[in-house]
Structure 1
Amino acid sequence: MKDYLMSKTRAVWLLIFSRAMAGLLGGYGFSYSATAFLAQVLPLPAQDAVIVASLPSFAFYTGAIIWAFSSRNTWSAWAPAALALPLALIGFWPTIWSI
């Protein structure tokens, strides 16, 4: 019985750690990528686009953390981190290829 409880405790701890990392690291990556994406696609001068794109980044980060802890399973908690890759490719495309 003791071994069963220890394995359940360890499994719960890993699930909570995974969700915390999904919220913190994945949320940071998502908000950073979304900010870069918005700065590229907004039809404003460059300085204004960066400022306007930076404003909702706090809401993106908060939303990703809430998403990580309110999702039904651990795989969907990492969805904002997976969404960060296409946003980053669009947001950083001019920077990557303008050598």
Structure 2
Amino acid sequence: MPRSVTQPKSAWPAIATRTVLALLGGYAFTYAFTAALARLLPLDPVDAVTAASLLSFVVYLVFILWAFASASLRRVLVGAGIAIPWAIVGFWPQLMEVLG
């Protein structure tokens, strides 16, 4: 009598989702973090932008590694969502100009 064998679930959808979140979410997070850090550093504007830009490479790498090391996709989504407050801090003057 044959036993019913269940097919293993494919890992490719999870890998593709983590890849997209790592690349796009990491980019959004890094962009917002760099803008906020450049605004918050107590340096001349040119030096603050340079320091924040140099640090952005490390931040992007860490986000990508964390996206694949995280236990669940929900944590990665929350991590990418943290980009929203960083973006508000980083782009506050431009936001105020647009809003009036």
Give me the TM-score of the superposition, normalised by structure 2.
Answer: 0.85
Alignment root-mean-square deviation, CA: 1.6
Report what 1:5 is aligned to: 7
Native 8 Å contact 1:42 1:49 kept in 2: yes
Which has the larger share of helix? 1
Native 8 Å contact 1:30 1:83 kept in 2: yes
**Structure 1: distance between partners of 2:97 and 2:58:** 30
Residue deviations 1:21-67 (CA, integer Å, cap 9, x gap): 11101111111111000011111121111111111100000000000
How many correspondences in the alignment? Answer: 95
The offset of 1:17, in angstroms, is: 1.0
Gaps of 5+ in 1: none
Structure 2 counterpart SS, 1:77? helix
Report what 2:14 is aligned to: 15
**Structure 2: distance between partners of 1:65 and 1:79:** 14
User: Which of structure 1's runs of 4+ aligned residues deviate more than 4 A?
Assistant: none
Map 1:8-87 to 2 at 5 A.
8-9=9-10, 12-87=11-86
Give 2:15's aligned amino acid.
I
Structure number with greater Rg is: 2
Gaps of 5+ in 2: none
